[in-house]
Amino acid sequence: MMTDASNVPVVLARLARNVHGFCTIGSDYEPIIVLNVQLSPEQMRRTYLHELRHLQKGDLWNESYDEYGDKQ
């Protein structure tokens, strides 16, 4: 599933310092990008682009996708 970048809402939230951001599905089944409000503007920009690439590649809808693999 491809996502139109112009329509993806962004939410700023206070997350753990080691979490820069993530994408999730809202109650309307549409994607949302969540960014850590504690990041610098440049870190937010990079994290936003990183999460947007996940949405554009369809990672959010791929049940077998695991960004961290066995590292955790």
Residues 54-63 have pLDDT tens digits of: 898 888 877 7
Model's pTM, two decimal places?
0.81
In sign, the C-alpha dihedral spanning 48, 54, 57, 61 is negative
In sign, the C-alpha dihedral spanning 8, 27, 54, 47 is positive
Backbone angles phi, psi at 57, to 5 degrees: -85, -10
**What's the mean pLDDT when you consider all of the chain?**
86
Could you tell me if residue 29 is left (phi over 0), alpha (psi between -120 and 50 degrees) or otherwise beta? left
Q: What is the pLDDT of residue 9?
A: 93
Contacts of 30 (CB under 8 A, 6+ apart): 7, 9
